[in-house]
Structure 1
């Protein structure tokens, strides 16, 4: 006699378009799952006539009571590799060691399939705290199930869904640079930062520049930043007496102009030029402190109130020779 196969938890998850972890939480009436997700899962349960297996339910209850997560280990998801990100990771590493955590570094996969595999791996290893490294575009799949995890993004990038975040206050940095130039009597200030780097600030550098012009017509360089001749032509055509940049190549092009320059970051700034100084290592440190607090208080899942921490920069003026 043929009998139809009993619907499984994973069948429900597939039909509802969520993870099996989420289905399990709905079945156990866990209040951390969003109402819309609960509705989808319940509809799939009804359609498949799903009935929880009593033995598996007992095992799940045992696991939830006896294993609340490996609170001694955090994960750092690396989205991009560069000097800035390595400095942020250095801050994460030092603070995890200070607080007594171990730290695992994982490169974030680009496909949904491999991200889902990584997510399940973290869950079954009992990992609950995840730090997402800086990137200029979101590489996280929007269907990542955050229910079991506490997460902090270490960049200006707005992930979907919204997560707690720590980043530099780039708007304040650019504003400080413009105020400095205005105090020097500078009237015509130009902006020369390539699009890739400017996007990493979520357009806060450009936003601060445009909002601080005080009647000046914008002067924004949009050609190749390493093309010295093109930069010089632009400087001459705009008749600038001040410049905001982060690029040594753009600064080198100003050598034949009477121009005051402020670098919007310290990374390529010549020793004799004022710059806005950020502390990317402090971003990593603050991110770990937030994760530490969330894990201690069992505050997992997508936050109802997103905490966004902006670390203020300062203007560094070179010391004049005596």
Structure 2
């Protein structure tokens, strides 16, 4: 026969404290001193205490039912070069749309904060959130220029990050599956009958996702015959480290002469990239897809029948971030995690006229 389940009352009796104190300690509440929480948590472990998920969910529901009717606010924190500049990037705008919809669906409201407000410091920002009772934070839309570590008062907050910047501190994050997307694109190119498959990529886009675009392409390219392995056509030609370090945005523009040189030398049968990015060069050189080569667009936002490529589910990325954050808040999981964790959201493939089958 199984032994009696250890309860919070059992732990309170052994510790000589009130059951409410034990409950707060087990929920890692900031209302208790760290020493008290650690002592009680250690005792609970020694006694073999295992939380009951059903009771935990019920208790969480009761606590929320007693709270004010107004929705709890979550902070959506950006650090672009301007307050709303990230909205000009359609993917980042959709992150926010998905997060807003998901937050509303589960009883939260999302409020935007810009970390580069005049006079704003990380310490001041922490105090603003704490004073307003905001515990949950989504770190989103941080441009490459803002790579300095975030130094918030983490012990009072739960946080989820969208995408990769800034890299420090280590936070749970969610992103599109760029590596998987470009691998899928390469596989679809092979299925079409093509052998010589090239990637045209802006270095800034690649750097913003920790070079996952390049990583996925090289993995797939390794599996084809060496004679069919084309070098990536990057723009700019060399990585301008001094530009990244000086915090200046690189213009997203293709070099037609360089594209022509690469195209004529390597003669790709399929190009993986972005139609908008290479459109000017194609027009100037008199090239058309699929007449001259198959074209797979990595940055589609909807299926249009014309373009074959990848539809990235940006709204679902935002929604996933909210659901991950809500889960942490329900467990009162505050502070920095011991280990980082990254969740990737898969993209959808769509057929189109730009990639005919041979």
Instruction: Please give the range of the TM-score, normalised by the shorter of the 2 chains.
Output: 0.7 to 0.9
- TM superposition shift of 1:135: 3.1
- TM superposition shift of 1:298: 0.4
Q: What does residue 62 of structure 2 align with?
A: none
Q: Does residue 232 of structure 2 align to residue 220 of structure 1?
A: yes
Q: Is the 8 A contact 2:269 2:293 kept in 1?
A: yes
- TM superposition shift of 1:83: 2.3
- TM superposition shift of 1:191: 1.2
- TM superposition shift of 1:30: 6.4
Q: Is the 8 A contact 2:303 2:311 kept in 1?
A: no
Q: What does residue 234 of structure 1 align with?
A: 262
Instruction: Provide Cα deviations, 1:254-298, integer angstroms capped at 9, x if missing partner.
Output: 428621111112049975121111111111111111111111110
Q: Is the 8 A contact 2:170 2:339 kept in 1?
A: no
- TM superposition shift of 1:184: 1.5
Q: What does residue 197 of structure 1 align with?
A: 205
Q: Does residue 93 of structure 2 align to residue 79 of structure 1?
A: no
Q: Is the 8 A contact 1:110 1:139 kept in 2?
A: no
Q: Does residue 84 of structure 2 align to residue 90 of structure 1?
A: no
CA distance in structure 1 between the aligned counterparts of 2:180 and 2:93, rounded to whole angstroms: 24
TM-score (norm 1): 0.72
- TM superposition shift of 1:29: 2.7
Gaps of 5+ in 2: 1-29, 39-66, 81-85, 237-252
Q: What does residue 243 of structure 2 align with?
A: none
Q: Is the 8 A contact 1:279 1:313 kept in 2?
A: yes
Q: Is the 8 A contact 1:76 1:104 kept in 2?
A: yes
Instruction: Provide Cα deviations, 1:230-261, integer angstroms capped at 9, x if missing partner.
Output: 32232111221111102424155142862111
Q: Does residue 176 of structure 2 align to residue 164 of structure 1?
A: no
- TM superposition shift of 1:118: 0.8
Q: Is the 8 A contact 2:148 2:166 kept in 1?
A: no
Instruction: Provide Cα deviations, 1:39-81, integer angstroms capped at 9, x if missing partner.
Output: xxxxxxxxxxxxxxxxxxxxxxxxxxxx9xx981100002231
Q: What does residue 151 of structure 1 align with?
A: 159
CA distance in structure 1 between the aligned counterparts of 2:161 and 2:131, rounded to whole angstroms: 22
Instruction: Provide Cα deviations, 1:94-127, integer angstroms capped at 9, x if missing partner.
Output: 1111111122110122899622211111112211
CA gap of 1:28–1:177, structure 2 versus 1, over 3 A, is: closer
CA gap of 1:164–1:265, structure 2 versus 1, over 3 A, is: same
CA distance in structure 1 between the aligned counterparts of 2:102 and 2:154, rounded to whole angstroms: 23
Correspondence list, 1:23-34, <5 A: 29=35
Q: What does residue 306 of structure 1 align with?
A: 340
Q: What does residue 139 of structure 2 align with?
A: 132
**Match of 1:289, SS?**
helix
CA gap of 1:188–1:139, structure 2 versus 1, over 3 A, is: same
- TM superposition shift of 1:169: 0.7
- TM superposition shift of 1:319: 7.2
CA distance in structure 1 between the aligned counterparts of 2:102 and 2:117, rounded to whole angstroms: 28
CA gap of 1:269–1:220, structure 2 versus 1, over 3 A, is: farther
Tell me how many residue pairs correspond in the alignment.
263
- TM superposition shift of 1:227: 3.1
Instruction: Provide Cα deviations, 1:212-239, integer angstroms capped at 9, x if missing partner.
Output: 1123433221345433343223211122
CA gap of 1:219–1:121, structure 2 versus 1, over 3 A, is: same
- TM superposition shift of 1:195: 0.9
- TM superposition shift of 1:92: 1.0
Q: 2:130 aligns with which of 123, 129, 132?
A: 123
